Structure 1
C-alpha cells in the first residue's frame, strides 16, 4: 500500500499541490486523472521521490520515502517519467538491462540476464532486443522503457503518461500489458492517464485531481460518473454504460 499524509508542494503563492491525504491499495491499477495542471504528474514524482515535498509524508510498503536509502527504495518502487531522452545509442536489451542497476550496480549476473530476458519477452520485444532505440517506432520504444521498469523487479511501478504519443491501437496494447503486469506478476501499478475511458476500462481504482487536490477517489463505477467528471474537467460530460464498462462522452 502507498500512503500519503498531508503531502504539500508549493511553487508560488497561487500554485500548490495538496495537502493530499490518500491511500493507494496494494495490487491492481490505480489511475490518476484530471485536467492539465491538476498535479497528477507532480504527485506521482513526489511518491517516487524524484521531487521533494514541502510538508507531509509518503510511505510505500511501510518505508518512509523521504528517509529510506535510495538503494533500498529502488528495490521497492520503479518510476518511468514522461520525458525519456537517452542520448546514448542503446539497444533494447541494453536499455532493459539498466533496470537491474539497483540489484547489479552495473555488473549483470546470470540471474540479472534472466530477469532482463523475461522482461523483454513479457513486453513482446524478443525480435527487437538487438535493435537500437532510434530505429524503433514510438510504440515499440515505449514498450522498451516499460520493460526496463519491469526488470527493476519492484513491488510498485509508477508510470507518468505511458500512453503519451501512442495511437489508439498501441494505447490499448499498453494498457493490456499493464493489466497483465498486475494479474500475472502481482505488481501494483500507479499510472497517470489523460483519457478517462482508459481509466474506466482498465483501472481498479481511480483518483481524480483538480487544482492540486484529490477531489474524488474510488472504483471506476464511483468516479467515472457524469457529475464527477463534469466537476473535475469543468466541461459537460455524459457517461454511458457500454458492453465493456463506462464511457465518458464530452460535448
Structure 2
C-alpha cells in the first residue's frame, strides 16, 4: 500500500505560490491507479513527493510500510521505481543499455548473467527486441518512451510511479502504452501509479482514479464512481457529460 498522511508542500512556480495538501490518501497494492485533474492541480508534485524526488514540508508518505523520507535509498530502490515526465537521454545510448540501468540497485553497474536475462525479459515484453541495439536518438517518440518504461520495469519493484508517460504520444501509441502497463500490472503483480491528462484513458485502464483539484484530493474511487457528470464538471471547472461508449464511459463536452 501507498499511504499519504497529512502531506503538504508549498513552493513557488513562475512567481506564484503553489500549495499542495494537506493530503490523506491510501492507494491499495495491485493494479493501476491514475491521478487526474486540471493543470496545476498538483498531480505531478504529489507523484514526485511519493517517489522522493521532491521533499515534503509536512506529513508522512509510506510505500509498503517504508517511510520514503527516511528509508535508505538502496533499500527504497528495490521497492519503488519512478519515471519522470522529462528525461534527458544520452543519444549514444542503446535501448538495451538504457533498460539495463534498471538493474543498477542490484548490480551497481556490474551486470550478471541473471541481470542480462531480466533485461531481455522486459525488452521482449515491450516489443523492443528488434530495437535493442538501436541508439535512442534513432527511435520514434513512442519507441523511446517504451524503452524508458522498460528501464523502470526492469528495476523489478513492486511499486512503479510514472509521470505522464503518454506525454507527446498520439492516441495509437497512448493506447499501446496503456496496454503494456495493464499487462505489467497483471502479469508481474505491479502496483502502478500514473499521472494522466486524458480522463477517458484513465477510465479505460485504471482500477482506481484519484481526482486532484487545487492541490488536494477532490474525489477518489473506481472509474464508475469518478466518471459522473457532476464529479468531472467540478474537478475540471467546466460542464462535462459522461456517455456510455462501446468500451465503457466516456467524458465529453457534448
Short-chain TM bin:
over 0.9
Identify the match of residue 52 of structure 1 among 43, 52, 55. 55
The CA deviation at 1:241 is: 1.2
Aligned residue number for residue 3 of structure 1: 3
| Aligned-partner Cα distance in 1 for 2:18–2:69 | 23
| Aligned-partner Cα distance in 1 for 2:220–2:91 | 40
The CA deviation at 1:59 is: 0.5
Deviations 1:35-73 (A, max 9, x none): 000000000000000000100000000111111000000
Instruction: Name stretches of at least 5 consecutive residues in structure 2 with no aligned partner.
Output: none
Aligned residue number for residue 31 of structure 1: 34
Query: TM-score under structure 2 normalisation?
Result: 0.97
Identify the match of residue 165 of structure 2 among 162, 166, 178. 162
Deviations 1:76-131 (A, max 9, x none): 00000000112351000000000000010111011111110001001000000000
Q: Does 1:219 align with 2:222?
A: yes
Q: Please say if residues 91 and 137 of structure 2, whose CA atoms lie closer than 8 Å, have aligned partners that are also in contact.
A: no
Q: Does 1:123 align with 2:123?
A: no
The CA deviation at 1:168 is: 0.7
Q: Does 1:108 align with 2:111?
A: yes
Aligned residue number for residue 179 of structure 2: 176
Q: Does 1:20 align with 2:34?
A: no
Matches within 5 A, 1:125-204: 125-204=128-207
3-state SS, counterpart of residue 56 of structure 1: strand
Aligned residue number for residue 206 of structure 1: 209
Matches within 5 A, 1:37-116: 37-116=40-119
* RMSD of aligned Cα (Å): 1.0
The CA deviation at 1:14 is: 4.3
The CA deviation at 1:245 is: 1.0
3-state SS, counterpart of residue 163 of structure 1: coil
Query: TM-score under structure 1 normalisation?
Result: 0.98
| Aligned-partner Cα distance in 2 for 1:104–1:88 | 23
Q: Please say if residues 30 and 185 of structure 2, whose CA atoms lie closer than 8 Å, have aligned partners that are also in contact.
A: yes
